[in-house]
Structure 1
């Protein structure tokens, strides 16, 4: 937490809230992303919450991709911060994250 470095994405995301969409993962560079927040502060040993924001969850079953996005019209650059976890940045603002989840029945 002291470094603010993103390591992964986690949380509760009920499948009922996902909308079907055709998704293709854009080119993504491997790298590091550091989070700096003043308000609200980073939650101790946990994360940055997006629970109080308007995010849309898109899912492409055939591609095996989930995209959680604020604004689909904003151009962004993708950075892969962990295997199958891509952050979509518009300048210094997090606009989306892309996941390639493994589903276990």
Structure 2
């Protein structure tokens, strides 16, 4: 996820995520609200040009081929509130914890 260093505001999601590893399932996009999400890190602090990894372990990638939705989620059983931070990019929050990304990507062959 790209974050503005000066404000901690989440801007968009990016990364390498091969489609072959995605689990196909039916996804229904929950209601979301537009807004912003502020990221706070204790260690290491946010620094310009420095990446902080969100490890791939414990994250599951779900894909609904009919809707084109992609959901990257830690625990599918936890309730979440969705905040749309950019067109087609929603962050799932449970309290102050980030638990999912909902994406509506445009696929290009």
The 4+ residue runs of structure 1 with deviation greater than 4 A are: none
| TM-score of the two chains, using structure 2 as the length reference | 0.89
1:12 aligns with 2:16: yes
| TM-score of the two chains, using structure 1 as the length reference | 0.92
1:88 aligns with 2:88: no
Aligned residues: 105
> What displacement does 1:42 show?
3.0
Structure ranking higher on relative contact order (CA contacts 8 Å, 6+ apart): 1
Secondary structure, counterpart of 1:96 in structure 2: strand
> What displacement does 1:65 show?
0.2
1:41 aligns with 2:45: yes
> What displacement does 1:49 show?
2.1
- Structure 1 residue ranges without an equivalent (≥5): none
- Structure 2 residue ranges without an equivalent (≥5): none
* Partner of residue 67, structure 1: 71
> What displacement does 1:48 show?
4.2
Q: Tell me: CA distance 1:46–1:82, structure 2 relative to 1, closer, same or farther (3 Å).
A: farther
Q: Distance in 2 between matches of 1:95 and 1:61?
A: 22
Q: Tell me: CA distance 1:54–1:40, structure 2 relative to 1, closer, same or farther (3 Å).
A: farther
